[in-house]
Chain A
């Protein structure tokens, strides 16, 4: 990002901040019962940062949520990508698995929450299960279509070179599908956060969703906003982390072309 773009972005955010300050604290156009002023938000932030709220400080809540997302996401990737590779590479596997997949797929991930809580309680296991269900689907679908869109000659080249099955999957199919796989992982990560916050809103003992839920019960707009901002920042951080991994894994696509000879 160039300095010019950065400045423009900074100016936009500053203007929004000023507008927010003007509409709440200065003119009182928006009552603080509906939307908190910057000062109220800061007070709430100070409270949760130092003294704690909903059973813990903000870093503790955030870390808890990040940990659950990371675990659910990891389980979804570890199961979804191999399944997508399998379904993409083998017509038999696709015929076998696809009906089950089509049956489960239309169920919104959030609809699993009651069952998850019933089975596993309000603790971490239930959240991980729901995240898994939500993040699993985009991982499978994108991996699958990534495999199916591999150009034929590349596959034929690998076959004529006598590539054995395992190496064929690891060194040809997976890298060829990797751009689509990463598209799937980005969607999976998004789904993980959405699902986690929803699950924590419904029933949790700890975490950012729990902060939001309690702040709503306490009618505490400042704290709600702090919770929302915290979720946004955490989501942004994990997305950056994934993008970093993607840039490294797909480095072969991004080298500058040398002048042709």
Chain B
């Protein structure tokens, strides 16, 4: 059973003459523990795809299901990491991470343990009692990822999570995410407009067309990554130098450029 399933999904915004066709016939299955990235020109509806899975918006036609259950409303089984972090600035790092656990009515000791684990996982131990705006952007996004991870969600939804970070921090976070995927693999739906980021992180990439967004092609990265053993490299720049990486990236770029000019 697919972890996430889009079945003949149509999405319209607005009514009557102002009705805008955002997504057109999206069919997509994301496997358990698969990392799937959606890339596409801006305004193509890639974020809308994520919002449908999160339950923030509802499909106009067709259905979206997670672990076989149709999505009705937002919930902690589908944790979201937002581009603008969306932390609660009046809560400490610990308080931010704790809220979702408290909502699940998990006991104090279990919560303490899970918070300690996730803080360690994200290298945040020393910041447990800091407030979000005392932290840099990269650290804030670590907190947001920790807040999502700690819930042990069915799927992790990441909406351009590194889009608001500076270039160096972004690279650090990308490497971090690869490390996380190795230590604790999850089903991830990752939205980005950065092709390199998608190729570096994802197992599979869905390329979308301009509005109304359709899935134009699905690119298998995992088989190339495994065959060419990208994993032997620690650093992103070493991977990006590989011919196999460049080849994939260029192919997706061409495909996207057709959309922008087309």
Residues of chain A at the chain B interface (Cβ within 8 Å): 151, 153-154, 156-164, 167, 171-172, 175-176, 178, 252-253, 255-258, 260-261
Contact = CB atoms under 8 A, between A and B. Distances in A.
B103 A163 contact: yes
B231 interface: no
A260 B133 CA distance: 10
A15 B238 CA distance: 74
Contacts of B12: none
A155 to B, nearest CB: 9
Contacts of A160: 54-56, 74-76, 78-80
A161 to B, nearest CB: 4
Contacts of A153: 82, 84-86
B99 interface: yes
Interface of B: 54-56, 73-76, 78-80, 82, 84-91, 99-100, 102-104, 130-131, 133-136, 139, 147, 151
Contacts of B56: 156, 159-160
Given A160-B78, A162-B75, A253 B89 contact: yes
Contacts of B82: 153, 156-157
Q: For the complex, would chain B's binding face be called helix, strand, loop or mixed by DSSP majority?
A: loop
Contacts of A156: 54, 56, 74, 80, 82, 86
A260 B86 contact: no
A253 B98 CA distance: 20
Given A153-B84, A176-B88, A260-B139, 6 more contacts: A158-B88, A160-B54, A160-B78, A162-B75, A171-B99, A257-B134
24 contacts: A151-B86, A153-B86, A154-B88, A156-B54, A157-B86, A159-B74, A160-B54, A161-B76, A161-B79, A162-B75, A162-B100, A162-B104, A172-B88, A175-B90, A176-B88, A176-B90, A252-B90, A253-B89, A253-B133, A255-B134, A256-B134, A258-B130, A258-B134, A260-B135
